[in-house]
């Protein structure tokens, strides 16, 4: 909204990411051999050129691994790193969800059970589907 108030357009933009996956990983797929850094630099230059020639507002590279971040830091375009917070859950040896709950204080246990009961009462249904099994209307709903 700030960009629009300043007279700019946020869209269209160039995006490099893995759909639906806020997970750190390589995005500039260049291999791991001795020429990888040069290929990363070439890809970044190509992204800048594409952004400019297509008159896009910006380029966003999401959840980069350390090698891709380092390449952006070395690049002359002065890429901006976004700082964000993610919460990661780690299993500390629990074998069941009840084991996990037992490690919590009573109030947290009670709150989690109440939240889960609300989800069950909502009749929410989750299905795991492969892309090939989706029809056109389902693909439209996904995107």
Are 51 and 58 within 8 A, CB to CB?
yes
Q: Please, which pLDDT band fits residue 118 given cuts at 50, 70 and 90?
A: very high
pLDDT tens-place string over residues 49-83: 999 999 999 999 999 999 999 999 999 878 988 88
pLDDT tens-place string over residues 84-114: 888 888 899 999 999 999 999 999 999 999 9
User: Which residues, other chains included, contact 129 with Cβ-Cβ below 8 Å and sequence gap of 6+?
Assistant: 138
Q: Please, which pLDDT band fits residue 20 given cuts at 50, 70 and 90?
A: confident
Query: Tell me, what's the pLDDT at 101?
Result: 96
Give residue for tokens 């933009």: 13
What is the pTM assigned to this prediction?
A: 0.64
User: Which residues, other chains included, contact 90 with Cβ-Cβ below 8 Å and sequence gap of 6+?
Assistant: none
Are 30 and 43 within 8 A, CB to CB?
yes
- Positions of E strands within the chain: 14-16, 59-61
């Amino acid at each position: 909204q700030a960009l629009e108030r300043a007279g700019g357009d946020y869209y269209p933009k160039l995006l490099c990411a893995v759909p639906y996956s806020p997970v750190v990983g390589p995005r500039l797929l260049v291999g791991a051999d001795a020429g990888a850094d040069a290929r990363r630099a070439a890809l970044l230059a190509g992204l800048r050129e594409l952004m400019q020639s297509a008159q896009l507002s910006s380029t966003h590279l999401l959840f980069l691994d350390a090698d891709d971040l380092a390449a952006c830091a070395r690049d002359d375009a002065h890429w901006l790193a976004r700082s964000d917070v993610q919460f990661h859950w780690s299993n500390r040896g629990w074998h069941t969800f009840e084991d996990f709950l037992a490690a919590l204080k009573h109030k947290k246990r009670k709150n989690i059970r109440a939240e889960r009961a609300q989800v069950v009462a909502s009749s929410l249904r989750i299905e795991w589907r492969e892309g090939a099994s989706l029809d056109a209307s389902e693909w439209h709903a996904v995107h």
